[in-house]
Amino acid sequence: MSPRRIRFWFVLHKWSGLVPTAFLLLLCLTGLPLIFHDEIDAAFGTDYDATLAGPPSADMAANAGGVGLPLDTIMDRALASHPGQVPLFMAFSQDSPLTTVTLGPRPDAGAGEMTLLSYDRVTGRALGAIDGDGVMDVILGLHTDLLLGQWGMWFLGAMGVLFVVSLISGAVLYAPFMRRLRFGALRGSGPGGRSAKRQLDRHNLVGIATLGWALAIGVTGAINAFADPLTDSWRDGEVAAMTAAYADEAPLAPAEYGSLDTAMASARAALPGRSPQFIGFPGGGWSSGHHYAIFFQGDRPLTRSLLTPALVDARTGRLTDARTMPALNQALMLSKPLHFGDYGGLPLKLVWAALTLALIWVLWSGLALWLRPRRGGREHRIRTWRALTSAPA
């Protein structure tokens, strides 16, 4: 590689890494507890799956949404406890009889206006409202959008793209840099082993060792930042095509909604052998103005996030259409479990946590390498540059 190209990739790597460093460190620090959110919720008694009376039945996962009291009964109890509210979502656990009902003042209510209620579907017992203002929710908000809403999500998505660019440019630089070095070799013998070359070699070694995982985290994080536009695109395109026959009809009023159990039976007949994950009610972002959108998931830890929607006429309970979501939306759904490492149980979470700590060190060491020449002046800058481009002595 010519000196000009090396300089180009070096400048690209430096600034694509430096610009998002502070935000990437924040994402790593907030991401660590989010990896273990299930365990943290259980420890503080907010894991409703763990508090249900009795163990889940053996066929619970295969029959989620179909075990216990009728769905209409659960919904009636939720609405009776909050007069004037309308249903927005109903969600099902794959591991217990937990059923979650989301209510709001109107069908298109925003997240801040929603009330989340949980029920044991076997007994009908109300488990209480789910508090959305806990510490973990604040941490999640910081991690996803800096508590700034959609603009915060897009900003962090841009930081994720820069992070991916820094990883790719770093890998491009690594090949000529390590051509004549044994993998894992650490050059330099300054006081305490902290010479510029030795610091650089450590940074490069840990960076290249975690490159594949870091790329996966960066790409999936950037994809997650554009979740809302992708969902809007699916609703405005795919859902509109699936419900074209209803285009000229006025949206259903909540009083006109028909039986959830009838709708679920129609959807199950169209998608046999799958488990329902949640129902989006008419007028919300996940449905049309006339349908229950019942989303079914796969039967494996990773494919649980791959959803197939069945649109059922909310008034009559008859199936309108069921089809796989577009590739971009499927990529979005797959990116979430890959990003947090929550599809392989506690062992994988521990691996994700260890790799996150390694990434924090890479980010910090990269920042230290940039600051070091500034303290040493122009001569030190030249020595660090030569450490990057020269063959080992």
- Provide the pLDDT for residue 369: 82
DSSP 315: T
Short-list 267, 313, 323, 262, CA closest to 288: 313
Q: Describe the strand order of the beta sheet including 115-120 as a list of residue ranges.
A: 126-129, 115-120, 98-104, 86-92, 275-280, 291-297, 307-313, 319-322
Report yes or no: 27 and 35 within 8 Å, Cβ to Cβ.
no
First-to-final CA distance of the chain:
19
The one-digit pLDDT tens for each residue of the chain (393 residues) are 677 887 888 889 989 999 999 999 999 999 999 999 888 877 776 555 545 544 444 444 444 555 689 999 999 999 999 999 999 999 998 778 889 999 999 998 988 889 999 999 888 888 877 765 568 888 988 998 888 888 999 999 999 999 999 999 988 888 776 666 666 666 665 554 456 677 887 888 888 889 999 999 999 999 888 888 888 888 888 888 888 888 888 889 999 999 999 999 999 999 888 889 999 999 988 888 999 999 998 766 666 777 889 999 999 999 999 988 888 888 888 788 888 887 778 888 999 999 999 999 999 998 888 887 554 444 554 455 555 555 443
CB 114 within 8 A of CB 88: yes
Amino acid at 313: D
CA distances from 374 to 126, 368, 369, 371 (A): 61, 10, 9, 5
Residue 250 DSSP class: P
Contact 333, 305 (CB under 8 A): yes
- 64 Cβ contact partners less than 8 Å away, ≥ 6 residues apart: 92, 93, 94, 275, 276, 277
Which pLDDT score is estimated for 227? 82
Instruction: Give the count of alpha carbons within 13 A of 352, CB side only.
Output: 23
Residue 81, Cβ density class (10 Å: 0-12 exposed, 13-18 middle, ≥19 buried): middle
Nearest to 313 by CA among 243, 386, 224, 360: 243
The residue behind tokens 């590739």 is: 327
- The length of the chain, given as a count of residues: 393
Q: What DSSP assignment string belongs to 29-68?
A: HHHHHHHTHHHHHHHTT--HHHHSSSPPPTTTGGGTTSSS
Burial class of residue 4, CB neighbours in 10 A (0-12, 13-18, 19+)? exposed
- At residue 55, the pLDDT reads 45
For residue 96, how far is the Cα from the chain centroid?
Answer: 23
Q: How far apart are CA 260 and CA 379, in angstroms?
A: 73
- CA distances 137 to 131, 141, 158, Å, are 9, 6, 23
How many angstroms separate the most distant Cα atoms in the chain?
80
Global pTM reads 0.76
Q: In this predicted structure, what is the pLDDT of residue 260?
A: 96
Residue corresponding to tokens 């329902």: 276
User: Would you say the C-alpha torsion 45, 84, 102, 104 has a positive or negative sign?
Assistant: negative
Q: What pLDDT does residue 133 have?
A: 59
DSSP character string of 207-248: HHHTHHHHHHHHHHHHHHTTHHHHHHHHIIIIIHHHTGGGTT
The whole-number pLDDT of residue 364 equals: 93
The three-state secondary structure class of 155 is: helix
What residues contact 371, with CB distance under 8 A and at least 6 apart? Answer: none
